[in-house]
Structure 1
Amino acid sequence: MKRKVADCFKVDDRGAVAATYALSLFALIAVAGIGFDYARLAGMDSELQNAADQAALAGVTQLDQKTGACARATNAAIALLNNQSRLANDGVLSEVQINGGSTITVAADICSDETPGVRFWTDKDKSELADSDAEAAFIEVIVDDRVARYAFTPIVGALNDELNAAAMAGLGSAICKVPPLMICSPDPLAPFNASVKKGWGIKATGGGTWAPGAFGFLEVGDGTKEDVIIALAYGDANLDCAPLDGTQAEPGNDTNFYRALNTRFDIYDFSKGSGTTLGPCYDGDCPPAPNVTKDLVNFNTTFNGANACKITYNNNGWGFPANRFFPKVRNTATETAGTIHDADGVSAMGLGRDLCHYTSYGASCKSLNGLGAKDPTSRYGNGYWARGDYFQKYHTSLASVATTVASAGTNPATWTRYETYLWELGKLQVPNGAGGFTTVPGGAVPTANLAAGQRTTPVCQPAAVGGIDRRVLTVAVVKNCASLTPSTEIEVDEWVDVFLVEPVAIGISDKSESDNGRENNVIYVEVIGPASLGGKNGAGGPQEIRRDVPYLVQ
């Protein structure tokens, strides 16, 4: 019996796969096309992101807070891009660009002008746009849009897609080879402004703590006391740098910290024993400054004894002179820069503290410097020191020095202690009005008075030669002291260069000295000005101690 044709279709399924394949072919081609085009898109995204990253890193290196920083950063980011997009196929140039590749004119404070593709921020959280070169700390760059025209995806209706990329960069900064010292800002809500406080004396340590557990020292290196001692004493301390934007306060207050710092004054008040942290100082690792004129005297003539270079307060080592500088009571009606405050025949003196830091002067520093309740213990002076006494003791008189240096257009009646120190070394320079500097003539380190025990140049160890000045320190001005704990990172308002005025007194037993304001364990310094870190602030020089490294934020 013959089968009907219709019945054959019911039982014969040959060719069914071809029909299924034909029906699914559209979807299969679409999936393959999407995969191909997505790979192109992902590759182009990587190209653009790499370009944005490198442009941001190039731009941020120009953010030095100086005039034109934002413009220079913008141009650095734009000019850097030599990257080519191999996967963009929009018919334009293959180069990846910012602002169409057009640089801008370098001008002051264009930070807020928002050049297309470049923005500047004050913080990494992008909460506030920078309004000036001084505020710009982070740069964000956005490369120009590029188009990827799809090869297969148009089958499902997608023709092309636009991509760009953004990156943000900042500078990671560290401060290196500086003594780990800090002071608390008297007003954490206002800038410290070291330029205004130039010449002010400050008790950097002593008199209790700046904050709970904060004695005036910072952690350095591995955070051990030994590393703090090394940083304070050694001429070349091989320690890790500290982050510029904050480290932690050193909770300890070891007497060896002060012994370490006194090496800068030719005082070696510790054992020669090998294996001790300070032992290498006797081998020249802790040189004194070339000018160590101070109010401590030493009658030892051979300097071979075990105590010859220690503070002993007797004739065997360093001690106070017979007739010390004790200023008379303040008299505002008659005082001038050249006033002699102690006419009783001072045996030996150093550059001395601010007069208000001597009890005999009878005036409160906080009432003279304008800080009042912001400086409750009068740690800050007012910059008024005994110029007249010092110049009369070592350089005939203030008036005679004024005559000697008049040709340089400067007046010693306004000099700080640091400027006086530089003049004695023949290193004081003043602007000459022609864009350069003139070395002020006539300076000389005071002549040693052996009969009085006065030593003005080093006798215990050879003086430091070249390099960083051993009596110039860089300290952190901290603005979060009220909330500071041993585990809290400090917030640095400003790094400040200071001058080490006098040796640290250790173990004073002389009541007349302590009654006159000379306290144990006080590091007394004078403000020079904003730190010359060799980075953002100042022109650098021998004190260059800053290291900046660009890094990507996002």
Structure 2
Amino acid sequence: MVLNLRGASRRRERGAVIIWLTLFLLVLIGFGSLSVDVAKLAAARTQLQNAADAAALAGASALDPGTAMIVQPLAITRAQAAALSNKAFITDPQPVVLAAADVTFPTPLRVRVKVRREGSESVVTTLAQVLGIKQPSVTATATAKLDTVGTALCGVVPLGVSPNAGQNFQIGCANLYTLKTGGGAGGGGEYGAINFSYCANQGVCAGMNPSGGNTFRCLLTNGYCCPLTVGQVVDTESGNMAGPTKQAINSRFAADAVTTENICYSDYVSRGGTGQRVVLLPITTPVAGNRQVTILGFCAFFIRNRPGNGDIVGEFMYQVIAGTGGGSGTGPVVFSLRLVPNS
């Protein structure tokens, strides 16, 4: 009788262990499934933030070259295209659709976007549905702004320009500026060219001697791709270098989809210009008669004509370039893009 009681006790103990083990496994599986949902929501949040960042930057790039303000309809289109090129989870990763109403403009130089996984496009969960969390909403917001460039990272050509004292470069087809003077018009042997310091491994012209006609031609064609900063002192380049100037500008014309001369920048854009005739220059203290100049800022010009005797004439415009902020907020400027805190 005693043996039977002991056997029954052991069977009850084994049964209890099995029950507890089953419960433990169920809880373990539950937590595992829930962790999958948590990871999926975290991934969706990251994906949406990446989409929001890309959309805000793309929207802010829609700068009007004539007014230095963001063109809002174009900004919305660019932001939507950038968002759509990103994916975020619903059941699986799907393209992010950005509503036009979710693109706003806190200031003329800022774009804010909000991307969503809400409603029918909410993130679909698995175990969380048992807890009543069927399709949680996830959103992300980003704001981008245009900053006046203090450091240009790539693309600057070796010509220093200076507006007349007390004036700024003026927008418009009627306002043409000499970016480099031709033969016989230089001051003290300087015609507008400047030297940039040795750039070892950046850009097409990397490793070339800082001075000389070959380097000037390469940089005028392709741009300098080491950083240049407001306040930096650079040397001037003496001599007209008419040959390298003509070769460089002719190369730019040949690479562009629009080669027609004597047209305005607005006509150039409407005809499908591809940007090779737009050059980025440093604004400097006057070049003529000086051996060194100081960089005061950066600006962009549309080249109207092929050079005759080494001269270059252009139309001023606002532009977005690769760079960082810190430049002056007034006068002829170019802009760079950056993300800023949402406010």
User: TM-score scaled by structure 2?
Assistant: 0.51
1:152, CA displacement in angstroms?
0.8
2:196 corresponds, among 216, 219, 239, to: 219
SS at match of 2:113: strand
In structure 1, give the amino acid aligned to 2:73.
A
Matched with 2:306 is none
Rounded Cα–Cα distance in structure 2 between residues aligned with 1:158 and 1:428: 65
Q: Say whether residues 1:531 and 2:316 are aligned partners.
A: yes
SS at match of 1:20: helix
SS at match of 1:164: strand
Matched with 2:28 is 28
Rounded Cα–Cα distance in structure 2 between residues aligned with 1:285 and 1:429: 24
1:199, CA displacement in angstroms?
8.2
1:76 corresponds, among 70, 75, 78, to: 78
1:118 corresponds, among 77, 83, 103, to: 103
Runs of at least 5 residues in structure 2 that lack an aligned partner in the other structure:
201-206, 248-260, 268-275, 286-291, 304-310, 322-333
Matched with 1:141 is 113
2:297 corresponds, among 482, 492, 517, to: 492
Rounded Cα–Cα distance in structure 2 between residues aligned with 1:237 and 1:48: 41
Q: Which has the higher contact order (CA 8 A, sep 6+)?
A: 2
C-alpha deviations, 1:107-157, integer Å up to 9, x for none? xxxxxxxxx42245xxxxxxxx433xxxx2x64432134322432124456
Matched with 1:476 is 282
Change (3 A) 1:175 1:143: same
Change (3 A) 1:79 1:240: closer
Farther-moved stretch of structure 1 (242-251 vs 34-43): 242-251
1:28, CA displacement in angstroms?
1.7
In structure 2, give the amino acid aligned to 1:70.
Q
Matched with 2:289 is none
1:170, CA displacement in angstroms?
7.2
Report 1:319-358 matches (<5 A).
Answer: none
In structure 2, give the amino acid aligned to 1:163.
V
In structure 1, give the amino acid aligned to 2:102.
G
Rounded Cα–Cα distance in structure 2 between residues aligned with 1:429 and 1:11: 98
Contact kept, 8 Å, 2:84 with 2:95, in 1: the verdict is yes
Matched with 1:153 is 128
1:230, CA displacement in angstroms?
3.5
Rounded Cα–Cα distance in structure 1 between residues aligned with 2:26 and 2:196: 69
C-alpha deviations, 1:290-349, integer Å up to 9, x for none? xxxxxxxxxxxxxxxxxxxxxxxxxxxxxxxxxxxxxxxxxxxxxxxxxxxxxxxxxxxx
Change (3 A) 1:222 1:185: farther
SS at match of 2:209: helix
Contact kept, 8 Å, 1:497 with 1:530, in 2: the verdict is yes
In structure 2, give the amino acid aligned to 1:118.
V
1:25, CA displacement in angstroms?
4.3
Contact kept, 8 Å, 2:284 with 2:296, in 1: the verdict is yes
SS at match of 2:48: helix
Matched with 2:250 is none
Rounded Cα–Cα distance in structure 2 between residues aligned with 1:228 and 1:96: 50
Q: Say whether residues 1:178 and 2:178 are aligned partners.
A: no
Report 1:454-469 matches (<5 A).
Answer: none
In structure 1, give the amino acid aligned to 2:123.
A
SS at match of 2:168: coil
1:429, CA displacement in angstroms?
9.4
C-alpha deviations, 1:207-232, integer Å up to 9, x for none? xxxxxxxx994526618893243378
SS at match of 1:226: coil
In structure 2, give the amino acid aligned to 1:179.
P
Matched with 1:5 is 5
In structure 2, give the amino acid aligned to 1:219.
F
Rounded Cα–Cα distance in structure 1 between residues aligned with 2:48 and 2:228: 32
Contact kept, 8 Å, 2:176 with 2:315, in 1: the verdict is no
Identity over aligned residues, as a percent? 18
Matched with 1:302 is none
Change (3 A) 1:29 1:11: closer
Q: Say whether residues 1:130 and 2:107 are aligned partners.
A: yes
Rounded Cα–Cα distance in structure 1 between residues aligned with 2:87 and 2:217: 53
Rounded Cα–Cα distance in structure 2 between residues aligned with 1:262 and 1:24: 85
2:140 corresponds, among 155, 165, 180, to: 165
Change (3 A) 1:231 1:161: farther
Change (3 A) 1:82 1:65: same
Contact kept, 8 Å, 2:62 with 2:71, in 1: the verdict is yes
Rounded Cα–Cα distance in structure 2 between residues aligned with 1:12 and 1:154: 36
Report 1:54-65 matches (<5 A).
Answer: 55-56=55-56, 58-65=58-65
In structure 2, give the amino acid aligned to 1:262.
N
Rounded Cα–Cα distance in structure 2 between residues aligned with 1:20 and 1:69: 66
Change (3 A) 1:2 1:96: closer
Contact kept, 8 Å, 1:475 with 1:495, in 2: the verdict is yes
Change (3 A) 1:95 1:252: closer
In structure 2, give the amino acid aligned to 1:492.
G
Matched with 1:249 is 232
Rounded Cα–Cα distance in structure 2 between residues aligned with 1:85 and 1:497: 38
SS at match of 1:19: helix
Matched with 2:254 is none
Rounded Cα–Cα distance in structure 2 between residues aligned with 1:474 and 1:180: 9
1:18, CA displacement in angstroms?
1.0
Rounded Cα–Cα distance in structure 2 between residues aligned with 1:175 and 1:39: 40
Residues paired across the two proteins, number: 264
Change (3 A) 1:245 1:497: farther
Matched with 1:406 is none
1:74, CA displacement in angstroms?
0.9
Matched with 1:37 is 37
Contact kept, 8 Å, 2:48 with 2:140, in 1: the verdict is yes
Change (3 A) 1:185 1:15: farther
1:496, CA displacement in angstroms?
6.9
Rounded Cα–Cα distance in structure 2 between residues aligned with 1:83 and 1:428: 38
SS at match of 1:14: helix
Farther-moved stretch of structure 1 (46-55 vs 34-43): 46-55
In structure 2, give the amino acid aligned to 1:30.
G
Matched with 2:251 is none
SS at match of 1:165: strand
